[in-house]
Amino acid sequence: MDLHNLNPSSLKSRFTTRFLRALTEINARKPIASSSSPREIFQRYRRIKDAADTSMAYSVRSRRTWSKATLWRLRTPSHRRRLASFGRRSSLNKTRTTTTASHRGAVVVQITSRGGGLGVQLEELRELVPGGEAMDLCNLLDETAHYIKCLTTQVQVMRTIANLYSLE
Amino acid sequence: MEKDEAFMAEVLNRTASRQLTWNTEVLNCATEKLGNHFLNPNWDNSMDQSDPFESALSSMVSSPAASKVPVSGENVMMRELIGKLGNICNSGDASCYSTPLNSPPRFDLSMVNLLNHSTLVPFSADPGFAERATRFSCFSTGGDSGCFNGPLMDSFKLSSMAGNSDSDKKNSGVSRSSSPENAESGVSKEESSVSQQIPSQNDAGTRKRKSIPRGKAKEIPSPAAADAKVASENDESNSKRSKREGAPSGNGNAKASNDGNQKQSKENSKPPEPPKDYIHVRARRGEATDSHSLAERVRREKISERMKFLQDLVPGCNKVTGKAVMLDEIINYVQSLQRQVEFLSMKLATVNPRMDVNMEALLSKDMFQSRGVLQHGIYPMDSSPAFPCGYHPQQGLLPLNNGIPNTTETQFSMKTQGFKLPSIDGFIDAHPQVGSMWEDDIQSIVQMGFGQNQPQSYQGSISTGQVKIEL
């Protein structure tokens, strides 16, 4: 890493500041007692995880589909989300079928045969990457690349923080 | 989107940097090698050397074309040039095949400037030669053969270059008359590769060449206009020679293979001036020139480009070939990253930070103002476990500073920001050292804090322990 250019507005530093803020907030709200029940620990874990994802998505500022999807997922309550996802899924399926139907002739054969080989993995990737359901392969790969980059940053920072905490 | 541009810029930079290094290499060796040969005015000698080049040539060239070449001085010289360029192209490293044809033409131009031979001019006027050269250039521009194609194309360009623009037009006219479709394909191909060079070169030679496509643009409306547009729109990476997105049928610059000849003549007669937002694609030899398949090919190339980028991101994917396996790896990696995030957040949930008060204070407004101050603030806690519980922090810090002069543990001088740190007041008082070390501290802390030198942090704590013992 370049020692001389600590970019104050880099993804890493943005994420770090936000995440630490959220973390201290969580710790302040409910300090960890030595006798926490597993349930409390689990709740805490969920909150921290959500905080991490949210702060990462905020650092990206909705420029990416996956960040938008993450923020949306964490903001809207689950019942509204279910309704919305119904509408989204149905429209998505429609668009998919129409696009494949528009290509005629030999090209259709090419598409389907190629798609068939990768179909399962594509679906998996779509599930993994938030907001990946509504994208074609090309954009999906783009999003995946950016998502991987952000995830590695997140893991790095969190690992450092955890090490620092645990060393005390 | 910004991130898209950043992504593309990254990819571009990578390919450009690869190109650049390769180009400089080739330029250096090419100028040495060819310079020696071509400054030798005795063509008879060079004829002896032409045999290896002959073989190289024959491997590149189709047999009828080769058989047509009469043994005259200029033609042999031309073939020699081709051969040498081809050899140099071969001897370049493997990136030769992935880098654009810019590179051979680039050092070729330097050769032209070196040469200043008038001998090139008469043989440029040879219509038969022009026809043959265009036929050579008709070979596919697939990734591997692209390099082979380059020198042939270059020699053709050389020939047209050596004269002035008038003779160029005459030459092109001649070539056109001899074999309209092939010549047009060759010409348009030349234009495409020439126009590709235009943004990247500043030689006087290129200025001459610039006139060629412009001049020809009037004569051949549709392909030339398209190529001029190509030149103007050439903001994409030059990594793939014919890699542009296909506009459907109207703009088909379908490269004339023997199949596509009739199509091309049809398209040439079509009304020109495709709209500017189309990006242009050239069908490769042996591929269907259907607009659908062109678009398909472009899409496939985009996808493979992105897969390559992902290959760089995902560790351990260099040996993997094939989309399916690659996707598997990517999926595994993303899953593992997500699981790591979950695990770490679980860890954070269970770990009780001892100095959470410090955290709050550290996150106060003042800290946010300075760069990297958080990492700075976190770090002192890292060294604190080295001390036994009862150890007074002040005393502990003094030896710390003395014992480890080279490390950044002097960041305890964070008092310059003037925060209220109840439990770290001891540290602050003990160390009047001011934030003159601030910048260095921040940088090194970031380095340490972000896992680059995490072993070093343990070293720090170990050495503090040792120092303590000394006391």
B26-46 pLDDT, tens per residue?
A: 444 444 544 444 444 444 444
Whole-Å CA distances, B101 to B104, B213, B309, B368: 6, 17, 22, 50
| Pick from B408, B372, B387, B361: nearest CA to B464 | B387
* pLDDT confidence tier of residue A54, bands split at 50, 70 and 90: confident
For residue A101, give the 3-state DSSP assignment: helix
Tell me how far apart the alpha carbons of residues B301 and B308 are, in angstroms, rounded to a whole number: 11
Contacts of B460 (CB under 8 A, 6+ apart): B382, B383, B386, B404, B407, B409
Q: What is the mean pLDDT of residues B109-119?
A: 46
The pLDDT of residue A51 is above 80 = yes
**Partner residue opposite B349 with nearest CB, options A41, A103, A157:** A41
Tokens found for residue B394: 């002040």
What do you get for the CA distance between the two ends of chain B, in Å? 59
For residue B413, the SS3 value is: coil
> Is the distance from CB of B368 to CB of B351 less than 8 angstroms?
no
pLDDT at B391 over 70: no
Which is higher by pLDDT, B76 or B214?
B76
Q: H helices within A3-136, ranges in order?
A: 11-29, 38-60, 65-75, 78-102, 106-128
Q: Across the interface, do B331 and A121 touch by the CB < 8 Å criterion?
A: yes
Higher pLDDT, A43 or B148: A43
pLDDT tops 70 at residue A53: yes
Where does residue B116 fall: left (phi above 0), alpha (psi -120 to 50 degrees), or beta otherwise? left
Q: Which residues of A touch B454 (CB under 8 A)?
A: 160, 163
Q: What is the pLDDT of residue B337?
A: 92
From B345, B354, B363, residue closest to A45, measured CB to CB: B345
Q: Which residues of A touch B443 (CB under 8 A)?
A: 3-4, 6
Task: Look at residue B338 in the predicted model and tell me its pLDDT.
Answer: 92
Residue B295 pLDDT greater than 80, yes or no:
yes
What would the two tokens of residue B319 be?
Answer: 């040996």
Binned at pLDDT 50, 70 and 90, residue B73 comes out as low
- Express as a percent the part of chain B with pLDDT over 90: 2
Helix and strand tally (H, E) in chain B? 24, 0
**B469 in A contact zone (CB under 8 Å):** no
B2 part of contact set with chain A, CB < 8 Å? yes
pLDDT at A95 over 50: no
Mean pLDDT across the stretch B250-277? 47
Q: What percent of chain A has pLDDT over 90?
A: 2
Q: Assess contact for B186 and B238: CB atoms under 8 A.
A: no
The 10 Å CB-count burial string (b at 16+, else e) for B436-447 is: ebbeebbbbbbb
pLDDT of residue B79: 57
* Nearest residue of chain A to residue B379 (CA atoms): A164
| pLDDT tens-digit series, residues B301-346 | 998 888 888 888 888 887 877 778 888 888 999 999 999 999 988 8
- Which residue would you say has higher pLDDT here, B149 or B281? B281
DSSP string across B2-68: HHHHHHHHHHHHHHHHHHHHHHHHHHHHHHHHHHHHHT---HHHHHHTHHHHHHHHHHHS-HHHHHH
What is d(CA B184, CA B176) in angstroms, rounded to the nearest whole number? 6
Of A32, A125, A162, the CB nearest to B330: A125
Closest CA to B15 of B106, B110, B97, B107: B97
3-state secondary structure of B99: coil
| Rounded mean pLDDT, A59-80 | 80
How many Å apart are CA B98 and CA B347, to the nearest integer?
46
Q: Which residue has the higher pLDDT, B364 or A28?
A: A28
pLDDT value, residue A99: 45
Which residue from B minimizes the CA distance to A138?
B303
The C-alpha of A91 sits at a distance from chain B's nearest C-alpha, in angstroms, of 24
Please name the residue that has the structure tokens 């002035």. B164
Q: Are B187 and B175 in contact (CB under 8 A)?
A: yes
Q: Given A16, A146, A161, which is nearest B3 (Cβ)?
A: A146
Q: What tokens does A15 get?
A: 């994420």
Under the phi-then-psi rule, with left for phi > 0, alpha for psi from -120 to 50, and beta for the rest, what region is B252? beta
In sequence order, the 6+-apart residues with CB closer than 8 A to the CB of B449 are A160, A164, B375, B378, B379
Rounded Cα gap, residues B202 and B200, in angstroms: 7
Q: Give the pLDDT mean for B224-253.
A: 43
Q: Exposed/middle/buried for B128, CB within 10 Å: 0-12, 13-18, 19+?
A: middle
Q: Is the pLDDT of residue B275 over 50?
A: yes
Short-list A37, A52, A73, A38, CA closest to B344: A52
Q: What is the mean pLDDT of residues B168-174?
A: 45
Dig out the tokens for A117 from the structure.
């080989």
Facing A162 at nearest CB: one of B2, B344, B442: B344
pLDDT exceeds 60 at position B81? no
Give, to the nearest 10 degrees, the angle between helix B454-470 and helix A137-167: 10
Q: Which residues 333-392 of B have a C-beta within 8 angstroms of A? A: 333-335, 337-338, 340-342, 344-356, 359-360, 363, 368, 371-372, 374-375, 378-379, 381-382, 384-385
Within 8 A of A161 by CB-CB distance, chain B residues are 348, 378
- Report how far residue B232's alpha carbon sits from residue B355's, in angstroms, rounded to the nearest whole number: 61
Is the pLDDT at B142 greater than 70? The verdict is: no
pLDDT at B399: 43
Angstrom distance (rounded) from CA B215 to CA B203: 19
Dihedral-angle region of residue B257 (phi above 0 means left; psi in -120 to 50 means alpha; beta otherwise) = beta
Q: How far is CA B276 from CA A32, A76, B212, B222, B233, in A?
A: 63, 43, 21, 13, 8
Q: Is B267 helix (H, G, I), strand (E, B) or coil?
A: helix
| pLDDT, chain B, mean | 52
Low-confidence winner among A74-83, A138-147, B129-138 (lowest mean pLDDT):
B129-138
**Which of A33-42, B111-120, B245-254 shows the lowest mean pLDDT across its residues?**
B245-254
Q: Do A144 and B330 touch (CB under 8 A)?
A: yes
Amino acid B335: pLDDT: 92
**Cβ-proximal residues to B94 (8 Å cutoff; 6+ apart), any chain:** none
Percentage with pLDDT > 70 across chain A: 74
pLDDT 10s digits, B335-369: 999 999 999 888 888 876 665 545 544 444 334 44
pLDDT on residue A12: 84
For B404, the token pair is 């480890």
Token pair, residue B218, equals: 């009037």
Predicted pLDDT of residue B339: 92
Inspect the interface and report whether the beta carbons of A125 and B327 lie closer than 8 Å.
yes
Share of chain B above pLDDT 70, in %: 16
Residue A83 has pLDDT above 50, yes or no: yes
Give the Cα separation of A48 and B406 in Å (integer).
36
Q: What is the mean pLDDT of residues B185-200?
A: 44
Interface list for A 21-60 with B (CB within 8 A): 21, 23-24, 27-28, 31-32, 34, 41-42, 44-45, 47-49, 52-53, 60
Q: Do B385 and A148 touch (CB under 8 A)?
A: no
Residues 6+ positions from B407 with CB-CB distance below 8 Å: B444, B456, B460
Q: State whether B341 and A157 contact (CB < 8 Å).
A: no
For residue A92, what pLDDT band results from cuts at 50, 70 and 90? Answer: low
The pair of structure tokens assigned to B425 is 């007041």
B313 with A149: Cβ contact below 8 A: yes
| For testing contact with chain A, the best of B389, B447, B450, B458 (most A CBs within 10 A) | B450
Distance from C-alpha of A165 to C-alpha of B370, rounded to nearest angstrom? 22
| Six-digit token string for B146 | 């692209």
Give residue for tokens 């995490």. B454
| Residue B354 CB neighbour total at 10 angstroms | 15
Tokens of B402: 């003395």
Q: What is the pLDDT of residue B2?
A: 54
pLDDT number for residue A167: 73
Contact call for residues B282 and B255 (beta carbons, < 8 A): yes
How close is the nearest chain B Cα to the Cα of A35, in Å? 11
| End-to-end Cα separation, chain A, in angstroms | 26
B356 CB neighbours in chain A (<8 A) are 24, 27-28, 31
Chain A residues inside the 8 Å CB shell of B450 = 1, 12, 156-157, 160
